[in-house]
Structure 1
Amino acid sequence: MFPPAKAALFGLVFALSASTAFAQQATVPFDMSGERGPTVETKPAASDDGTPAVETKVPEKKAEVPDVAARRYIIPATTLMLEGEAASHSFPVYLTPQQAAAATSINLGYSNAVVVAPEVSGLTVIVNDVTVGETPVQSPEGTKDMRFELPAGLLRPGVNRVTFNAVQRHRTDCTIRSTYDLWTALDPARTYLTVSRDTSGRLLTTDDIAAIGVGPDGRTRFTMIVPEMGQPITTNALMRLSQGLALMAKMPNQTFDVVDTLPVTGGAGELHVMVGTAADLSPLLPGLPSSASVSAVATFVDAPAGDRKIFVVSGPDWPSIEGAVEGMVSPIDRPLGVTREALSVRQRNAAEMPLLSGATTLRLASLGVRTAEFSGRRLRTGFDVGIPSDFFAGAYGEATLLLDAAYSAEVQPGSHVDIYVNGNIASTVPITSRNGGIFRHLPIRVTMRHFRPGPNRIDIETVLMTAADKVCAPGSSASEEPRFALFDTSEFRMPRFARIAQLPNLAALSGTGFPYSRAVDPIALYLDRLDTDTLSSSATFLGKMAVSSGRALQVRPESSALAIGERDALLFGTISQLPPLVLAQTHIEAESASSWGGAGGDAGQGATQDALNEWQSRVRGGSWRGQFSAFEAWLQETFDISLSSLRLLPGEEAPVTPDDASRFLVAQGDSPGRTAVWTVVSAPTGADLRAGMNAVAQDARWQQLDGYITLESKDVEALDTRAVSRTRFVATQPWTFANLRLIAANWLSSNILAYAMIFCVLSILLGIATSGLLRRFGRPV
């Protein structure tokens, strides 16, 4: 029992505590957001006078959710990561005049790392250089949906540029390592333009095919409905049409499906194309124009069900259909003799990608890099350039980045600027001054060993170290005082380089379509069977090559692989159906025709390999082979010299046996007479062929093709490539002394032993000549 005074005091404290708790509960109710689902935040664009936008939060169930068919998805990838303290990605979005006028808002779905400090981190959406929305980065527990209204007249018919900028700071850490923990992930399925759903927003003409866009998974799909797809007469028209459609859309992740029945529904980023004679299509398509029975047509018609449009290519017979296809492709095709100055601008981002065919100097402003001031610890930005297929300067060449930049006095020695080429570090420049400084065209030499034919990514990364970051006082990460500035007056200078093509070379095929892009005669095309898997795979492959080449390739279907002879050829089919001659010429082990994909053969091969590896591990320590391997590794790590560069004559390519994990391969080799190139696209089964081709058709994997053979595995993101040992040189430029000198410089740099022997021979000859000359003048030697 408490005394009365203490009891009264205890009761008063209890009452005050209860009232305070009740007030807190009334102020902050129990969070049911997880039960209600994610919220949708609506933010109109900021006014011209700088007045901040008003933020309104409503439950998603009350928000107006637009129809999926009325969405124009933006991101051509399965995911988009904005990483580091400052990140930016731009994407082109092609719109028809009706779509540009009808678009009302842009939706954004994002999530971020829990270590991102929302009070000093932000995400900005820019459309055609106009900021349409800004939001703090504050969604670590799940994906948050945002909607920003678009000003009237902002979007235009044709290509529009959409940019996502992220500025991120760490909550507690100020080290360089902590900047790698910062990320914001954009969900492609929840990032789109909202377009009102009506007939004006649908595709109406062939020019509108460029507006097909991407689906929620970042892919573009063409479904070709061909009732007679099993007939050989249809193959040439289908392959030519697939290339024309790919050139019109120019999306990075395009695939083709060839089927014989019309799908019931279609989705965003998908176009249905019906191809066939009027007699075949009339029962399936009531809206087919009556003129198709007397002349060729290529137009959009209404689908039998729903309000979608179907693109139809038809005519009274297949020769007329081929004429209609040629009428579509010819206006967009690049003639063989016309040299390209740039690669496709829609292949990677919205910036121009120039093709550097020789000595060139470009300002970073023309490459999409803008002047930026940075207050963080690690800044990374970059640009893309194209390299021709006959690039031959990887062993000796150096490009130069003329850097215009400035850094403040708080930046300490130990900071540095790194240059990366295709993800590989190519050069490093330390910052040594303690009092700040300005770089005016500071030359940074960039080795060209990591350049490859086709698109190349060059990144500039600046790592800044300061005394304030070592202390890491609370709130220091919120400072907006710039430490570093990168100016768009910086220049990238490509020197003159050797130009001669090498075969086999899958990197040149994926980058620029070489050597087929230069073919004068039609390319032999062999399909082991005319079914949906093989036709779909070949259409997808040719579509990718057309975009890489910048032109539609002429092909001639062949019924037999042995009838190809000494012609450039593309061969598609399951491994068991390809002749042994084709496998031998493309360096594929003959036993793969029966063992690849078979359970018994794979099990036996795997057991044999395991036993071999075990015995190698037992005897390697004391054998001369183990010591030789250790010496080879030491030579590579210490002097960057491989034993392959110490050979006088190149060795033969090792035949490849695909392992259990491999699902799909692309291999290239010479014809029997070494005058043409054969490329094989194969898999154990038709289903694997189609699935593997769809996986490799994604831009990130397509750009990994390299060497003389590339293997794809369904559970591994990176492709398995085999480097070329013996190459065949093909002249692509007129023979000049300057080009020959550059070719010799690169070849001798790659073959050190040959260079040393030539040097010794020339030294001996010089000594003999000097001795003879002295004797002739009567002087003793």
Structure 2
Amino acid sequence: MRFAPAAAVGLGLFLALSASTAFAQEAAVPFDMTGERGPTADQKPSEGNSGTATPTTTQVEQKPVVKPPARRYIVSAPSLMLEGEVASRSFPIYLTKDEAAGADALNLGYSNAVVVAPEASRLTVVINDVPVGEMPVQSAEGTKEVRLNLPAGLLRPGINRVTFNATHRHRTDCTIRSTYDLWTAVDPARTFLTLPDAPTSRLQTMDDIPAIGVGPAGQTKFIMVLPEMGQPAATNALMRLSQGLAMMAKMPNQTFDVVDTMPATLGAGELAVVLGTAGDLAPILPRLPATAASSAVATFVDAPAGNGKVLAVSGPDWPSIESAVEGIVSPIDRPLGVMREALSVRQRNAAEMPLVSGETTLTLAALGVRTGEFSGRRFRTGFDIGIPSDFYADAYGEATLLLDAAYAPDVLPGSHFDVYVNGNLASTVPFNSRNGGIFRHLPIRVTMRHLRPGPNRIDIEAILLTEADAVCAPGASALQEPRFALFDSSELRVPNFARIGQMPSLAALSGTAFPYNGQTDPAALYLDRLDSDTLSTGATFLGRLAVSGGRALQVRPESSALAIGDRNAILIGTLSQLPPLVLSQTHIAAESASTWGAPVAGDNQRAGTQEAIDEWQSRVRGGAWRSQVAAFQTWLQETFDISFSSLRLLPGEEQEVVPDDSAQFLIAQGDSPDHTATWTVLSAPTGASLKAGMAAVAQDARWQQLDGYATLDDKASDSLDTRQVSRARFVPTQPWSFSNMRLIAANWLSSNILSYALAFCGLSLLLGMATWGLLRRFGRQS
């Protein structure tokens, strides 16, 4: 039997040789034997005499091309993190009539922290206040995708609200610190509505423009096709139309890209807008209506490549095009003098954001906060309010939060409420009772120093300590017994505050487009060149201002910066092309025009090294006394809430801004030469940096960081470098009244303590001298 393996190998070789020979003979057959072998899967028997062997032609069935389902992305942000033990975030999504009827499912992609306990943590999706899905949070190893079927009739044409609610519990830890490690990340690229039956051409009328939506990264882009880009006549129509489109869409992260050719394809969250005369648009838009040659036209037409629809705005000449643009913008524009009651609903949340312009009382129910019970350790909820551009109560003002809440008997003293304003701690109130309690309008004073013009976020946090959490027995973190309840009958009371504008103020510019949003005369707009980068920057910036201000701004393009005079102006261009007068008025160092972005030579590197050595020597020698001064300043701030900036008799001059090599974009603001108007400068070392920097700053997270008289965007940082104002110019915005002047004086004296002290001493001295004089004249001599 020991020859069996050899025999097996020989048999295998013989079978392989036989198979190869048979295959070769079959390949060498000189004619088709289909008639004898019968039809194959891809062949049909020949009609007529089946016994006759006739050659046949193989026919392959053409399968219909199935288009992938259309997607409407939901998250209008680059990322979405639901952090803490309870978290909620809502997003509005605008749907056309066909989209609302065709959407049948929601795809959700999410991941979570490893320490999240899936058995006690839940993720819920709610659409228009109807829960459509609830699942355990169990995707710690990667992004998990879940398909949620939607009931018929749930979605409606127009605005719909999609809410993500997360409840987290820790696997093993019961401390307050452990709650900061809990999170669920919703992937914007994998979270969308599926529209299997949606038509390829979704947008049909101007009312459908909000349905442009967002892309997989939460971005919205308008591609403005302008064949006559270099003509000055096109600039005014372009800027006006950009503001109108931005106000229609009202998306938080929208940009404009001005090009001279039609894009090959359009992605999700993108809309192509073609602007030009009929003669210039005919070669690139064959289906342009014939009436464009004789009258103004603004309509959706089929794209040349069959990629949906594009918005065409055309006419025989530019005056007629401007009238077409005005027909788009006028119906949505807010007339001058009409005050707003709420800010844009799509900036941060799907709920209304009331504009608080004076003494106001608002319930949490009106602010979008609902009554809820909580069984964890750190409860957090919040709401948004709007503040007008002329808010001036950052040094003395206090709002009051009247809290209706309850806590269980096992909650220990040391627990407390914290109130945050724009991420800054504004107030803390401890729990004093050991046996639980119910608060009815518990007053919590909230300082108003952290409020800023535009949207403001106020968060309420409850830190709950218990003996059970100190022991942290197995399963204790998953207990569902409520410890705390917050009632929506709680109120926020805001007192009257001073109303006067301050310039420069990039916070007011980003919050409400002040001072350009309230002027009757057009603001001057200077563009150093009419190319794609500069026009894109101007369109994105004005579109952002229109959404912040709630109305389209009137601008007048100027060919020369020196011709602006003493008018409100916006100047856009590379720093080397701006006149020295503009740089000096906006506190930008003149030498930056030639050094910003320029390559560094070897001699300059050696000089910079020597300057760095000298600076470090000075820093080391002066380190001892500087550390003492810094320690004293910290003690003064912590003990008496007094900063060195308030201990001044007269405000100092603004320091000149010298952008370093890491900065790619700059926004600066200053006065006109006669100090009666405001100039705003947008600049960068190159045109490409100008466009990229404006696109980055236009994102909602960075736009809300604009502050001071100058802000620089760093390529390597997510935060902006802001330069605070030292000397502000007051701009009256309200009719004169003694009450408002008293509040203005109170805030100014609170900001300038040394001036207040000197005024108090002077008045006391005058009072003493007057008393001495009266007693000497009318009093007793002995």
Report the TM-score when normalising by structure 1. 0.90
The one-letter amino acid paired with 1:688 is S
Q: Which moved more, 1:610-619 or 1:200-209?
A: 610-619
Name the residue aligned to 2:173: 173
Q: Distance in 2 between matches of 1:177 and 1:629?
A: 30
Give the letter aligned to residue 617 of structure 2: W
In the TM superposition, residue 659 of structure 1 has moved relative to its aligned partner by 1.0
Match of 1:617 in 2: 619
Question: Within 5 Å, which residues of 2 pair with 1:114-153?
Answer: 114-153=114-153
Partner of 2:25: none
Residue equivalent to 1:46: none
Q: Separation in 2 of the partners of 1:195 and 1:709?
A: 45
Match of 1:261 in 2: 261
Partner residue of 1:524?
Answer: 524
Cα distance change, pair 89–491 in 1 and its aligned pair in 2 (3 A): same
Tell whether the 8 Å contact from 1:98 to 1:201 is kept in structure 2 after alignment. no
Aligned to 1:414: 414
- Are residues 154 and 572 of structure 1, via their aligned partners in 2, closer, same or farther at CA, if it must alter by over 3 Å? same
Residue 607 of structure 1, CA deviation = 3.1
Aligned mates of 1:354, 1:94 — CA distance in 2: 21
2:540 is paired with a residue of what secondary structure?
Answer: helix
Which AA in structure 2 matches 1:642? Answer: S
Q: CA separation in 1, counterparts of 2:607 and 2:373?
A: 58
CA distance in 2 between counterparts of 1:695 and 1:646 reads 37
2:445 is aligned to 445
* Structure 1: runs of 5+ lacking an equivalent: 1-64
Give the 3 Å change call, closer, same or farther, for CA 480–243 of structure 1 in structure 2. same
SS in structure 1 of the partner of residue 530 of structure 2: coil
Instruction: Call closer, same or farther: CA 1:603–1:73 in 2, change over 3 Å.
Output: farther
Task: Specify the alignment match of 1:705 in structure 2.
Answer: 706
Which has the larger Rg?
Answer: 2
Unaligned runs of 5+ in 2: 1-64
Are the equivalent residues in 1 in contact too, given 2:381–2:459 (CA < 8 A)? yes
The CA distance in 1 between the partners of 2:151 and 2:389, in whole Å, is: 44
Letter of the 1:664 partner, please give it. F
Deviation at 1:286, TM superposition (A): 1.3
- Residue 324 of structure 1 corresponds to 324
Q: 1:136 to 1:66 in 2, by over 3 A?
A: farther
Name the aligned partner's letter for residue 107 of structure 2: N
**Per-residue deviation at 1:537?**
0.6
AA aligned opposite 1:296: A
Q: Which amino acid aligns with 1:654?
A: Q
> Secondary structure of the residue that 1:529 maps to in structure 2?
coil
Q: 1:694 offset after TM fit, Å?
A: 0.5
Q: State the one-letter code of the partner of 2:559.
A: S
- The 8 Å contact of residues 123 and 166 in structure 1, kept in 2 or not, is answered as yes
Equivalent position SS for 2:93: strand
Return the offset for 1:766: 1.4
By how many angstroms is 1:108 displaced? 0.5
CA contact (8 A) 2:201 2:309 kept: no
- Displacement of 1:777: 3.3
Distance (whole Å) between structure 2 residues aligned to residue 554 and residue 138 of structure 1: 53
**For this pair of structures, how many residues does the alignment match?**
716
Residue 32 of structure 1: aligned partner: none
- The Cα of 1:605 is off from its aligned counterpart by 7.5
Contact 2:200 2:308 in 1 (8 A): no
Residue in structure 2 matched with residue 182 of structure 1 by the alignment: 182
> 2:240: which partner in 1?
240
TM superposition shift of 1:660: 1.6
Aligned CA distance change for structure 1 residues 494 and 685 (closer, same or farther; 3 Å)? same
- Give the structure 2 partner of residue 92 of structure 1: 92
Partner of 2:217: 217
The aligned counterpart of 1:671 is 672
Q: Taking structure 1 as reference, are residues 554 and 68 closer, same or farther at Cα in structure 2, changes over 3 Å only?
A: farther
Q: How does 1:714-729 map to 2 (within 5 A)?
A: 714-729=715-730
Aligned residue identity for 2:340: R
TM-score normalised by L of structure 2: 0.90
Letter in 1 for 2:675: R
Shift in CA distance, 779/477, structure 1 to aligned 2, threshold 3 Å? same
**1:748 is matched with which residue?**
749
Contact 2:373 2:483 in 1 (8 A): yes
Structure 1 equivalent of residue 9 of structure 2: none
Distance in 2 (CA, whole Å) between partners of 1:399 and 1:581 is: 43
* CA apart distance, 1:197: 4.4
Structure 1 partner of 2:368: 368
The one-letter amino acid of 2:729's match is: R
Deviation string for 1:675-725 (max 9, x for gaps)? 110000000000100110000000000000000000001110110000000
Q: Secondary structure at the match of 1:331?
A: helix
Q: Show the counterpart of 1:484.
A: 484
Does the CA contact (< 8 Å) of 1:68 and 1:268 recur in 2? Answer: no
Amino acid at match of 1:610: A
The answer on whether the counterparts of 2:74 and 2:188 sit within 8 Å (CA) in structure 1 is yes
- Tell me the CA shift for residue 415 of structure 1: 0.5
- The structural deviation recorded for 1:641 is 1.7
Aligned letter for 2:754? L
Rounded to whole Å, the distance in 2 between the matches of 1:330 and 1:231 is 24
Q: What letter matches 1:159 in structure 2?
A: I
**Do the aligned partners of residues 174 and 201 (structure 1) sit closer, same or farther apart at CA in structure 2, a change above 3 Å counting?**
farther
Task: Note if contact 2:389-2:514 (Cα within 8 Å) is conserved in structure 1.
Answer: yes
* Partners of 1:612 and 1:451 in 2: CA distance: 41
Displacement after TM superposition at 1:647 (Å): 1.1
Q: Does 1:339 align with 2:339?
A: yes
Q: Deviations over 1:699-753 (max 9, x none)?
A: 0000000000000011101100000000000110011110011000000000000
| 1:304 partner SS | coil
Alignment of 1:419-568 (within 5 A): 419-568=419-568
Change over 3 Å in CA distance of 1:192–1:603 after alignment to 2: farther
1:661 and 1:606 map into 2 onto residues whose CA distance is 16
What's the counterpart of residue 773 of structure 1? 774
Instruction: Measure the CA separation in 1 of the matches of 2:76 and 2:385.
Output: 20
- Structure-1 residue corresponding to 2:690: 689
In the alignment, the residues of structure 1 paired with residue 179 and residue 67 of structure 2 have an alpha-carbon distance, to the nearest angstrom, of: 39
Aligned equivalent of 2:113: 113
CA distance in 2, matches of 1:607, 1:258: 42
Equivalence for 2:11: none
Partners of 1:66 and 1:194 within 8 A in 2: no
Measure how far apart 1:643 and its partner are.
Answer: 1.8
Do residues 596 (structure 1) and 593 (structure 2) align? Answer: no
Q: How far is the alpha carbon of 1:778 from its aligned partner?
A: 2.5
One-letter amino acid of the structure 1 residue matched with residue 716 of structure 2: D
- 1:216 and 1:67, CA in 2 relative to 1: closer, same or farther beyond 3 A? farther
Distance 1:76 1:780, change over 3 A: farther
Matched, 1:644 2:653: no
Larger deviation, residues 499-508 vs 471-480: 471-480
The answer for the alignment partner of 1:350 in structure 2 is 350
**Change in CA separation of 1:502 and 1:166 when aligned onto 2, cut-off 3 Å:** same
Question: Does the Cα contact within 8 Å between 1:356 and 1:388 map onto a contact in 2?
Answer: yes
Q: Could you tell me how far apart the structure 2 residues matched to 1:644 and 1:669 are?
A: 21
Q: For 1:68 and 1:266, locate their aligned partners in 2 and report how far apart those are by CA, in whole Å.
A: 16
Alignment of structure 1 residues 184-203 onto 2, 5 Å: 184-199=184-199, 202-203=202-203
Provide, for residues 104-159 of structure 1, a one-character-per-residue CA deviation record: whole Å limited to 9, x for no partner: 11110000000000011010000000000011100001000011111111111111
- Does the C-alpha gap of structure 1 residues 616 and 471 become closer, same or farther in structure 2, counting only changes over 3 Å? same
- The alignment yields a C-alpha RMSD, in angstroms, of 1.5
State the shift of 1:629 in Å: 4.4
Aligned twin of 2:282? 282
Task: Output aligned runs, 1:356-395, within 5 Å.
Answer: 356-395=356-395
Determine the C-alpha separation between the residues in 1 that align with 2:77 and 2:152: 28
| Change over 3 Å in CA distance of 1:283–1:453 after alignment to 2 | same
Between the aligned partners of 2:485 and 2:67, the Cα distance in structure 1 is 44
C-alpha distance in 2, partners of 1:190/1:430?
43
Deviations 1:621-675 (A, max 9, x none): 35x5564444334433443322221111111101010012111010000000001
Shift in Å, 1:432: 1.3
Q: Which amino acid in 1 is paired with 2:141?
A: E
Deviation at 1:293, TM superposition (A): 0.6
SS in structure 2 opposite 1:326? helix
Contact 1:102 1:201 (8 Å CA) reproduced = no
> Offset at 1:211?
1.1
In 1, Cα distance between equivalents of 2:362 and 2:666 = 38
Shift, 1:767, TM fit: 1.4
- 1:580 offset after TM fit, Å? 0.5
Label 1:132 to 1:603 Cα distance change in 2 as closer, same or farther (>3 A).
farther
1:221, 1:411 → 2: CA distance?
Answer: 50
Which residue of structure 2 aligns with residue 294 of structure 1? Answer: 294
